[in-house]
């Protein structure tokens, strides 16, 4: 690891958040919001954007004179995703800083290889190529875990270059976005009183306004309403009523089947539970489209009948028969 300041950014820890300095600006960023931005970023899309730009410029041999143009193209491609992912808790300027950090990190990795890249994956910042980092960070933000050691191990970030300003305020000099992530999560765990939640509709992470919040208030591409508004738009929840009635009926049906046929109840219950989970998902999906007819149709199509239950039970027994000889042959 370099011990210089290869991203050209200094992060000042003010005790309530970070002040990030680069050549042009200085802005305060609350703890945890850098990590939030990363996690809410569409990994697939950002990797494709980086890959496409690299392919464009490295089709033949890369001309170092094109570095500036390359950086601008890369910036514009990546920034779309970062800016969308950061809306709701980072200001525009912060999103620009995050994009800048990523572009500089990619440029650094290309320069280290003397402009001869071998494999696009080597140029993708580790925070977007390693899914373990993402899931660890997600758990930390939701306070399911405080396992920073995993992040250290996965990113290989064992120390961060720092010094004390005015004998008291630490300043960190960053060499990678992974270092920033580490720092951000550490301070979030130690000093932030906030707890991030996962939206039950869109799956993005957000900072709730109330403890009881289930849905985010983050903007959605192509829609005017947020998840929170969409999910609370119906005064008395018609969708939940339909779901509950359907669940009662389905449960009654498996009990009836148990009482009239020689069928294992655990098997029936598992069947019901799987269906019930799907039903909840469909309830959310159809509610977000305000499509009660579609939801009713789905319930009708997946309704348990004597025929469908018999079919499932026979399928289950057949699978069991197939498994038995295998176990025997091993012994
Ligand atoms: Zn949402």
Q: Show Cβ contacts of residue 245 under 8 Å, excluding neighbours closer than 6 positions.
A: none
Rounded to the nearest 10 degrees, the angle between the axes of helix 67-86 and helix 43-57 is: 170
Tokens for 252, please give them.
């009654």
The pLDDT value given to residue 155: 86
Mean pLDDT of the chain: 85
Span from the CA of 325 to the centroid of ligand 1 (angstroms):
48
Residue 59 burial (CB < 10 Å; 0-12/13-18/19+)?
exposed
Strands in 15-100 per DSSP E: 17-21, 26-30
Span from the CA of 10 to the centroid of ligand 1 (angstroms):
33
Span from the CA of 87 to the centroid of ligand 1 (angstroms):
12
CA dist., res. 50 & res. 126, Å (int): 13
CA dist., res. 282 & res. 319, Å (int): 28
CA dist., res. 278 & res. 297, Å (int): 14
CA dist., res. 127 & res. 120, Å (int): 15
Span from the CA of 213 to the centroid of ligand 1 (angstroms):
11
Sign of the C-alpha dihedral computed for residues 182, 186, 191 and 194 taken in this order? positive
Span from the CA of 292 to the centroid of ligand 1 (angstroms):
20
The pLDDT value given to residue 39: 92
pLDDT digits over 16-64, tens only?
777 776 656 556 778 999 999 999 999 999 999 999 998 888 877 778 7
pLDDT digits over 218-242, tens only?
988 888 888 888 877 655 578 888 9
Span from the CA of 16 to the centroid of ligand 1 (angstroms):
27
CA dist., res. 48 & res. 44, Å (int): 6
Q: Report pTM.
A: 0.67
Span from the CA of 122 to the centroid of ligand 1 (angstroms):
32
Q: Show Cβ contacts of residue 98 under 8 Å, excluding neighbours closer than 6 positions.
A: 34, 37, 82, 86, 90, 177
Vertex 214, ends 150 and 92: CA angle to 5°? 70
Q: How many helices (H) and strands (E) does the chain have?
A: 13, 7
Span from the CA of 220 to the centroid of ligand 1 (angstroms):
8
Span from the CA of 295 to the centroid of ligand 1 (angstroms):
20
| Residues measured by CB to lie within 5 Å of ligand 1, the ion | 199, 201-202, 216, 227
CA dist., res. 271 & res. 45, Å (int): 36
The pLDDT value given to residue 4: 61
Span from the CA of 238 to the centroid of ligand 1 (angstroms):
20
Span from the CA of 198 to the centroid of ligand 1 (angstroms):
8
Provide φ and ψ at 62, rounded to 5°: -75, 135
pLDDT digits over 97-133, tens only?
889 999 999 998 888 777 777 777 888 999 998 889 9
Q: Show Cβ contacts of residue 21 under 8 Å, excluding neighbours closer than 6 positions.
A: 9, 10, 11, 12
SS3 213: coil
> Which region holds residue 15: left if phi is over 0, alpha if psi is between -120 and 50, else beta?
left
């Amino acid at each position: 690891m370099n011990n210089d300041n290869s991203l050209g950014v200094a992060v000042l820890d003010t005790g309530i958040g970070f002040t990030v300095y680069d050549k042009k600006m200085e802005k305060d960023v609350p703890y945890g919001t850098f990590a939030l931005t990363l996690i809410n970023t569409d990994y697939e899309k950002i990797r494709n954007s980086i890959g496409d730009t690299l392919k464009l410029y490295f089709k033949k041999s890369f001309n170092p004179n094109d570095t500036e143009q390359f950086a601008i193209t890369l910036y514009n491609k990546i920034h779309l995703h970062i800016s969308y992912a950061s809306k709701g808790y980072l200001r525009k300027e912060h999103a620009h800083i995050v994009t800048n950090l990523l572009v500089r990190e990619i440029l650094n990795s290309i320069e280290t290889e003397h402009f001869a890249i071998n494999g696009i994956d080597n140029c993708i910042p580790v925070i977007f190529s390693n899914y373990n980092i993402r899931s660890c960070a997600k758990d930390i933000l939701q306070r399911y875990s405080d396992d920073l050691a995993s992040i250290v191990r996965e990113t290989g970030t064992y120390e961060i270059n720092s010094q004390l300003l005015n004998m008291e305020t630490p300043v960190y000099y960053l060499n990678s976005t992974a270092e920033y992530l580490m720092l951000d999560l550490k301070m979030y765990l130690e000093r932030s009183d906030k707890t991030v939640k996962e939206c039950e509709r869109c799956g993005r992470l957000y900072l709730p306004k109330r403890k009881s919040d289930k849905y985010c208030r983050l903007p959605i591409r192509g829609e005017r309403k947020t998840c929170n508004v969409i999910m609370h738009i119906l005064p008395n929840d018609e969708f939940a009523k339909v779901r509950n009635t359907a669940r009662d009926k389905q449960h009654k049906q498996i009990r009836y089947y148990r009482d009239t046929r020689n069928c294992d109840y655990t098997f029936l219950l598992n069947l019901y539970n799987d269906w019930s989970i799907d039903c909840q998902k469909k309830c959310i999906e159809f509610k977000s489209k305000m499509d009660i007819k579609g939801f009713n149709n789905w319930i009708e199509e997946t309704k348990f009948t004597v025929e469908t239950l018999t079919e499932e039970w026979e399928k289950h027994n057949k699978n069991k028969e197939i498994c038995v000889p295998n176990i025997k042959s091993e012994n």
